[in-house]
Structure 1
Amino acid sequence: MATRDNVMSHRKRSIAEEPVTSVLPDGDVPYDPRHSFNPDEEVLAALGYKSEFKREFSLFTTFCVSFAVLGLLPSFASTLTYGMGYAGTAGMTWGWIIAMLGIQCVAMSMAELCSSMPTSGGLYYAAAVLAPPGWGPFAAWLTGWSNWLAQVTAAPSVNYGISAMILAAGSINNPDYVPTDWQTFLLTVFIMILHAILSSMPTKWLAQFNSAGSTFNFVALIIVIILIPAGTNRSSRGLPRFTPSSEVWGTIYEGTSFLPGVSVLMSFIGVIWTMSGYDSPFHLAEECSNANLASPRAIVLTSATGGIFGWFLQLVVAYTVVDIDQVLDSDLGQPFAAYLIQCMTQKMTLAILALTIIAGFSMGQGCMIAASRVTFAYARDDCFPLSNYWKQVNRYTQTPANAVWFNCAVGILCLLLILGGSVPIGALFSIGAISAFVAFTIPIFIRVFFVGKRFRPGPWNLGKFSMPIGAFASAFVLLMVPILCLPSSTGAELNAANMNWTCVVYGGPMLIVTVWWFVSAHKWFKGPKVNIQHMMLGREEAIVEGQSAAEDHEDSSSGDAHAAEKATKS
């Protein structure tokens, strides 16, 4: 009788009673006769998955990974050629504010989805669940591959920026030294391998390592924001200490062949790529305690904090830069280093570069971790060739080590673009911006325009503002996708050397996977695969008969206690 009472107690916690929007129908009940779910496991089970990781990330440590992936200081240093080079200081000041309005709306809409579906699959799972009937697998397929392209190119692009800064520092110390493409490539590969080794560590070590890295990132950012205006030597060069505000805010640098307004929009690539790491808490949700609250809060906190402090960094650089043309065309091969040497002493320049390089190393590490969780989640649903290998969790570290090394290998192949020069490798940054935003927005767009009342909000939600914020986020991304594909030159000046390769490097793989879908994948890919036992309501007798003796240790009061615990937590 106790067994039957226990079953009935467990059966009361159906999908319909959970604050989730699940791939399972409301009548389904997650079920494991050998294990009593804690609140986090119960929410994940309602989404169709069993817990496979230790939940050793908290709100703070999740935010730390996310902020490390965001990496404001190294991100800004790596993309200065776009933010400053396309529209000058105007794009860096008021342009950043405009871009952040759209980005914050995307982040809040994503956080709402995360609270309702806190699983490593993240946006991919959301697209599958929210899409109109019959379209779920295709929506998940496109979202998953676009998001994976963003994730797998993040660490290579970050590490390329780190390598360029390290070699630029060498050039500052020894003006006769000019870095070669091969040296940059080999150094970047070395950093990639280091990150892969570190990313294979146990979850607890990863949390501690990234907490330290994120703390350093934040401290280094504050130091640099203070050091630049305090240590600039513009006055000793016969210049005013700071550029007048009328020039900083009112002058649009003609870095493209388009109208000034379009140039400002094109400069948003630097903002979008810099701010694209706030989705990491979504992918770490299965390793986070109290995930349906902590993970969405970490998303919004990362985006808001990054937006504010990123703007401060933009301001101090905009007010102290001397000559934009020299920054972009310097022999150092790294615009941020070229900017620093214009307005700082050599020692101060090297000190700031050192802080940026260390912060960048932490950022690349965070990118590698987030990408491995995405690869694991997609491989769990057999999205990739040889998925059986990539979805394995290492029994010693309890982390998806195979997925880490798979991403490392793909990233190293992407780095071969370095040998083609600065323009082809620059496509990695454009891919990171456009593919991430496309993946972010597909489920948000579906949520706003196709779902209606089928969406069940989690404990963190936008309430009555959900639809207008989601609509604005979708409109912003629809505007930016074609803008990010525009070349900086037009007409007779446009050639293979200065074209925008984003449409090729991103569009090519997405065209291939779309064709793959219609030719083959639609026959076998059905979206997220549940990997936990579940049962339908109305089958009490069959369930009781099938119970194993392992359930006898649970009494009927354990279900009530668990429900009370979950209610208190919520």
Structure 2
Amino acid sequence: MDTKTADFSAPGGPDDSSLHRRKSALESPSADEIQSADALLSTLGYQPELVRSRSTFQVAFMSFVLASIPYGLATTFYYPLVGGGPTNIIWGWFMVSLIILCVAASLGEITSVYPTAGGVYYQTFMLSPPWCRRITSWICGWAYVLGNITITLAVNFGTTLFFVACINVFTDENGNEIFPAETYQIFLIFLLITLICNAISAFGNKWLPWLDTFAIFWTLAGVLALIITILAIAKNGRRSASFVFTSFTPSSGWTPGWSFMVGLLQAAYATSSTGMIISMCEEVRQPSTQVPKAMVATIVINAFAGLLFMIPLVFVMPDIEILAALASGQPVPVIILSAVGSPGGTIALLVPLLVLGIICGTACTTAASRCTWAFARDGAIPGSQLWKRVDEKRDVPVNAMMLSMIVQIVLGVIYFGSVTAFNAFSGVGVIFLTVSYAMPIAVSFLGGRKQVADAKFRLGKLGVFCNIVALSWSLLALPLFCMPSYLPVTAETVNYAPVVFVGFTVISAAWYVAWGHTHYAGPPTSERAVF
């Protein structure tokens, strides 16, 4: 490999202010790591533009925060609850975690060869045969960008609904909710949360690694406080171990087997961020090893963290029929209130999850802006000249972040037409990201895995197994998460995920026909990058 230092004065490279910051970074103890990473990036066709400020632990922490398992599982608890009850909640999570571990390992192996902010889009281009690499990378890139944006939307909208449900653990003298939020009020809260997450990401970029570190300890303290309290008080008693680990009570209206599968949306949503951390490769000191290890380690840790969080909730869970009938679709606040018996105590236990929701939204906003910027950098988004600019003062692609935010807000309007809009946001996010993750894995697998033979994060013979599991899951997930959560389907409860998916697919296809087919050449290549 060519290990020359990146040429910061090359055309299209950083300006003087960016150069000053990079020189300052090169004077740190990790200078050799940064120079090596920048040299690799140059051989892959790009000039370094972002500062590599994240250490191994910090990138692992961000990967954890992107998933934010207690928060992500809490806001989507309704889906496995009606899908099959305790069995769906516990074993569905465990099963999907094992599957996503194979996805993470497969992506990590490829990322160790191609560590760029373009992520799976760049990888798909480099791994595909020359005759089809433009169209495959185009499809993957649009799926990856839209998946990042819609998952970020789902996180912020989920925080909104969860926040409203938390407030309503308080009731008036007649037992009615104190905040029967109107549709416009929910939308305004969502708008405020979205603006807060974007502001934190845009103006506090240099502090984000410390925010991610804080989130780890905050989550640990919050989860321990919650599970100890609800198990110790358990005002309405505790369920038997048989109920927690073997009870299967589908109430979605689907046939039992399919009901269980539809209930996996919770686990798929909570683990959908697996590959989003790849977009941070150009801000990491050793991306070829740090990012793959962080992806895999996070899945393992999150699998146990998820069980630690959900098993106690199921032990103190009231009747499933009561929870399934909640208009809010947010059963966790009600479960905790039932166990604690005090609205004040319940709110105190829910605050850590609410704070984690904001931190998770900020992390997702950051990742979405980076992949949007990377895709625009290669001219694949209309108006790319505007979206590919980096704010040199803050080291943030602010324009790309604003584009992502605008798309989220426009899609949020769906809530005015459907009370189950969150199902559409989370479902379409999972679908898009699943497609984007599957494409580099598929082209690598079909190509005989030649390009990853010398990967720094190499799976060896286990790689074939992981690839097959990942691709099989992808084929199942596409139709699965287009389904409504329960039957019968009405105009208010229909799942808009396939509508959003098809709509964006049509837009990307139309842009390819109108412009991309003639002008889009894909990411830059070099002799080093082309096999």
Taking structure 2 as the reference length, the TM-score comes to 0.89
Tell me how far 1:331 sits from its aligned partner. 4.7
Q: Quick one: distance in 1 between partners of 2:523 and 2:212?
A: 29
- Determine the structure 2 residue equivalent to 1:549: none
Q: Deviations over 1:286-332 (max 9, x none)?
A: 00011111111111111111111112222122222111222132255
Q: Secondary structure at the match of 2:295?
A: helix
Tell me how far 1:428 sits from its aligned partner. 0.3
Q: Deviations over 1:167-193 (max 9, x none)?
A: 223322343431111111101111111
Change (3 A) 1:102 1:114: same
The answer to whether 1:147 aligns with 2:122 is no
**Partner residue of 1:360 out of 344, 357, 361:** 357
Higher-Rg structure is: 1
Q: Which moved more, 1:97-106 or 1:218-227?
A: 218-227
Q: Quick one: distance in 2 between partners of 1:39 and 1:440?
A: 27
Alignment of structure 1 residues 427-466 onto 2, 5 Å:
427-466=424-463
Tell me how far 1:75 sits from its aligned partner. 0.7
Q: Secondary structure at the match of 1:499?
A: coil
Q: Which moved more, 1:299-308 or 1:321-330?
A: 321-330
**Partner residue of 1:470 out of 467, 470, 477:** 467
Tell me how far 1:34 sits from its aligned partner. 5.8
- Determine the structure 1 residue equivalent to 2:489: 494
Q: Quick one: distance in 2 between partners of 1:430 and 1:108?
A: 23
**Partner residue of 1:509 out of 499, 504, 507:** 504
Change (3 A) 1:487 1:279: same
Partner amino acid, structure 2, of 1:90: T
The answer to whether 1:411 aligns with 2:408 is yes
Q: Secondary structure at the match of 2:274?
A: coil
Alignment of structure 1 residues 52-71 onto 2, 5 Å:
52-71=49-68
Q: Quick one: distance in 1 between partners of 2:497 and 2:355?
A: 29
Contact 1:112 1:460 in 2 (8 A): yes
Q: Secondary structure at the match of 1:388?
A: helix
Q: Quick one: distance in 2 between partners of 1:480 and 1:31?
A: 41
Change (3 A) 1:131 1:199: same
Tell me how far 1:519 sits from its aligned partner. 4.9
Q: Which runs of 4+ in 1 moved over 4 A?
A: 33-37
Contact 1:111 1:300 in 2 (8 A): yes
Change (3 A) 1:289 1:179: same
The answer to whether 1:83 aligns with 2:80 is yes
Change (3 A) 1:409 1:299: same
Alignment of structure 1 residues 196-345 onto 2, 5 Å:
196-201=198-203, 203-235=205-237, 241=238, 243-331=239-327, 334-345=330-341
Partner amino acid, structure 2, of 1:112: E
Tell me how far 1:164 sits from its aligned partner. 2.0
Structure 2 unmatched runs, 5+: 11-25, 27-33, 172-176
Tell me how far 1:230 sits from its aligned partner. 2.5
Tell me how far 1:334 sits from its aligned partner. 2.7
Contact 1:377 1:391 in 2 (8 A): yes
Contact 1:53 1:286 in 2 (8 A): yes
Contact 1:171 1:332 in 2 (8 A): no
Q: Deviations over 1:20-56 (max 9, x none)?
A: xxxxxxxxx9973969982111111121111111111
Q: Quick one: distance in 2 between partners of 1:376 and 1:218?
A: 33
Contact 1:55 1:287 in 2 (8 A): yes
Q: Which moved more, 1:516-525 or 1:401-410?
A: 516-525
Tell me how far 1:209 sits from its aligned partner. 2.4
Alignment of structure 1 residues 140-219 onto 2, 5 Å:
140-174=137-171, 175-201=177-203, 203-219=205-221
Tell me how far 1:140 sits from its aligned partner. 1.0
Q: Quick one: distance in 1 between partners of 2:451 and 2:149?
A: 32
Give % identity: 26
Q: Quick one: distance in 1 between partners of 2:52 and 2:137?
A: 26
The answer to whether 1:40 aligns with 2:43 is no
Taking structure 1 as the reference length, the TM-score comes to 0.83
Change (3 A) 1:169 1:445: same
